[in-house]
Amino acid sequence: MAPALALSGAPKPARACGRPKYPTSSPAEGPRTRWSYGQYRFPDEHTVAFCPTASLNLVSGAVRSRGRFVGEAKVFERGTRLLAVAVVGAFMVLLGPSAPNGFFSSEALSAGPVKDVVPNRVMTWNLCNPCDEGNADRASEIARFAPQVVGLQEACERDVAQIRDHLENTHGLVYHVEYGAVLQNWGRCGGAPWNPGGYGQAILSAAPMTDRVNEEYPDGGSEDRGYMAVTTLVGDRPVRVFNTHLAERRQEEFRIEQTGVLAAEIARHDRAIVLGDFNAVPNTPELAGIWKLAEDTDPLCRPSDSGACTPTTDWRSKFDYIFLRGIAPLRHRVWDTPYSDHDVLHSDVDVTYL
Q: Which residue has the higher pLDDT, 90 or 306?
A: 306
In DSSP terms, 342 is beta-bridged to: 313
Residue from 106, 146, 108 nearest 26 by CA? 146
What is the reported pLDDT for 86? 54
Q: What is the mean pLDDT of the chain?
A: 77
Q: Is the pLDDT of residue 4 over 70?
A: no
| pTM assigned to the model | 0.71
Q: What percent of the chain has pLDDT over 90?
A: 60
pLDDT digits (tens, 9 = 90+) for 152-205: 999 999 999 999 999 999 999 999 999 999 988 787 798 878 888 899 999 999
Name the superfamily (CATH) of residues 118-350: Endonuclease/exonuclease/phosphatase (3.60.10.10)
Q: What percent of the chain has pLDDT over 70?
A: 67
Phi-psi region of 17 (alpha: psi -120 to 50; beta: other; left: phi over 0): left
What's the whole-number mean pLDDT along residues 285-294? 98
What is the reported pLDDT for 222? 87
What is the reported pLDDT for 281? 97
The answer to whether residues 336 and 125 touch, using CB atoms and an 8 Å cutoff, is no
What is the reported pLDDT for 49? 31
| Residue 125 to residues 9, 204, 229, 293, 320, Cα–Cα distance (Å) | 27, 12, 16, 22, 8
pLDDT tier for residue 96 given thresholds of 50, 70 and 90: low
pLDDT tier for residue 115 given thresholds of 50, 70 and 90: low
Enumerate the H helices of 103-173 as residue ranges. 135-145, 157-169
What is the reported pLDDT for 224? 95
What is the reported pLDDT for 248? 94
Q: Which of 30-34, 85-89, 230-234 has the highest mean pLDDT?
A: 230-234
pLDDT digits (tens, 9 = 90+) for 232-270: 999 999 999 999 999 998 999 999 999 999 999 999 999
Distance, in Å, from the CA atom of 87 to the CA atom of 244, rounded to the nearest integer, reads: 38
Domain ranges of the chain: 55-98, 118-350
